[in-house]
């Protein structure tokens, strides 16, 4: 119901409130949205999953739309392009190329210093994580309970041996009860 | 099972819709390896077809440049002529760039060979080589999207 309303479909039994919504909202079909995505650029291919978006990528060098919006200058040049290509000057050819594509192969495959940013962000986040760990360790926790004192732990060990806990393979098996010392 | 059903459906379609037999032949079957010559001639024919449009040219070129191969000079020439027929020089230059890129780390050996083979067609059509147009090196720096 709601879905239909947002699609701009006028429902016969709908009340006044919904009636207003349906008159305001435009009917968006799949094709309108995809066309709007291209921003008025010439749709020249299928592209990626039929989406009219531009991308420079060696795996997929021919995107679905031309890069630039059509204007009068490019129209004149396209007219000239219909004729012999030998009559086109080099700047003309470059302009036609840049109308269709944003970057050349050499440009989009050029090594960029982006790795510095990646390394920087990585080091900064590691430093912040270490700092947080240090702060929590120094100020974030309560003191150890008294059972952690060396004296009490020794007493507990004595009691474990006295009760003969794990006598086959465990702790007490290492205690020699006849000699009263460790084996 | 699927193969048998598909075969039956295909034959039924052929009968009812009148699909020409050339299309059916073009469908490759399992277990058969297409030879390099057959592959080249298939794509040569694809680009040489009358009434091919930019959409189909882009589709063919995208497919070819996505494969693990360097297009043979005949296929490249055929593609260039297809670009000429739809009057799109940008497409032709991009196609050349893509073919050069497919040479990978063997650009020093394969690319001169390709260029030598296709240079008559380039001269005939008036398509500049990548070196002539200066696209072998980066020409423009791209502005950051945050500065536009």
pTM for the model stands at 0.66
Question: Which residues does chain A have within 8 Å of residue B84's beta carbon, measured at their own beta carbons?
Answer: 85
Q: B40 and B19, same structural domain? A: no
**How many whole angstroms separate alpha carbon B97 and alpha carbon B100?**
5
Q: Does residue B8 belong to any structural domain of this protein?
A: yes
Q: B69 and B104, same structural domain? A: yes
The pLDDT assigned to B111 comes to 95
Instruction: Indicate the DSSP class of residue A51.
Output: B
Q: What residue numbers bound the domain in which B42 lies?
A: 36-133
A86-112 confidence digits (pLDDT tens): 999 999 999 999 999 999 999 999 888
Q: B71 and B15, same structural domain? A: no
The two three-digit tokens of residue A86, written as one number: 């030998």
Based on the structure, what is the number of domains in chain B? Answer: 2
3-class DSSP assignment, residue A175: strand
B79-132 confidence digits (pLDDT tens): 999 999 999 999 999 999 999 999 999 999 999 999 999 999 999 999 999 999
- Separation in Å, CA of A86 to nearest CA in chain B: 4
Q: B64 and B15, same structural domain? A: no
| CB of A94 less than 8 A from some CB of B | yes
**How many whole angstroms separate alpha carbon B112 and alpha carbon B97?**
13
* ipTM confidence score: 0.74
Per mean pLDDT, which range of A174-183, B29-38, B76-85 is the poorest? B29-38
The pLDDT assigned to B22 comes to 45
User: Closest-CA residue in chain A for B97?
Assistant: A105
Q: B80 and B98, same structural domain? A: yes
For chain A, the domains span: 1-38, 145-183
**How many whole angstroms separate alpha carbon A65 and alpha carbon A33?**
15
| Distances A131 to A99, A125, A128, A135, B55 between C-alpha atoms, Å | 51, 10, 5, 6, 56
Q: B95 and B40, same structural domain? A: yes
Q: Does residue B42 belong to any structural domain of this protein?
A: yes
Q: Report chain A's C-alpha Rg in angstroms.
A: 38
**For range A42-52, the mean pLDDT:** 85
Best mutation site among B82, B138, B144, B146 for testing chain A: the one with the most A CBs within 10 Å? B138
- Separation in Å, CA of B90 to nearest CA in chain A: 4
Asked whether the predicted pLDDT for residue B14 surpasses 90, the reply is no
Banded pLDDT at A140 (limits 50, 70, 90): confident
3-class DSSP assignment, residue B129: coil
Cα A181 → chain centroid: 62
| CB of B62 less than 8 A from some CB of A | yes
């Amino acid at each position: 119901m709601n879905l239909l309303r947002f699609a701009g479909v006028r429902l016969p039994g709908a009340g006044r409130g919904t009636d207003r919504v349906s008159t305001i909202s435009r009917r968006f079909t799949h094709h309108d949205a995809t066309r709007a995505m291209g921003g008025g650029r010439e749709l020249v291919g299928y592209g990626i999953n039929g989406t009219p978006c531009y991308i420079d990528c060696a795996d997929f060098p021919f995107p679905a739309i031309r890069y630039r919006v059509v204007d009068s200058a490019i129209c004149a040049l396209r007219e000239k392009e219909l004729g012999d290509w030998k009559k086109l000057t080099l700047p003309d050819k470059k302009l036609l190329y840049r109308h269709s594509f944003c970057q050349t192969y050499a440009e989009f495959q050029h090594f960029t210093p982006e790795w510095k940013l990646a390394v920087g962000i990585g080091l900064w986040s590691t430093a912040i994580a270490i700092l947080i760990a240090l702060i929590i360790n120094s100020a974030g926790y309560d003191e150890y309970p008294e059972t952690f004192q060396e004296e009490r732990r020794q007493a507990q060990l004595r009691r474990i041996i006295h009760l003969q806990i794990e006598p086959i393979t465990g702790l007490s098996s290492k205690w020699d009860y006849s000699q009263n010392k460790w084996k | 099972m699927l193969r048998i059903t598909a075969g039956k459906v295909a034959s039924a379609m052929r009968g009812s819709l009148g699909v020409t037999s050339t299309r059916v032949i073009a469908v490759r079957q399992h277990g058969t390896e297409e030879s390099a010559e057959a592959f080249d001639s298939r794509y040569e024919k694809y680009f040489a077809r009358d009434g091919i449009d930019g959409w189909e040219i882009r589709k063919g070129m995208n497919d070819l440049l996505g494969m693990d191969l360097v297009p043979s000079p005949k296929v490249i020439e055929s593609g260039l002529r297809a670009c000429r027929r739809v009057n799109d020089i940008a497409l032709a230059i991009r196609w050349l760039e893509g073919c050069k890129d497919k040479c990978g780390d063997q650009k020093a050996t394969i690319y001169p060979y390709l260029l030598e083979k296709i240079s008559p067609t380039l001269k005939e059509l008036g398509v500049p080589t990548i070196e002539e147009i200066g696209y072998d090196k980066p020409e423009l720096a791209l502005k950051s999207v945050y500065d536009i």
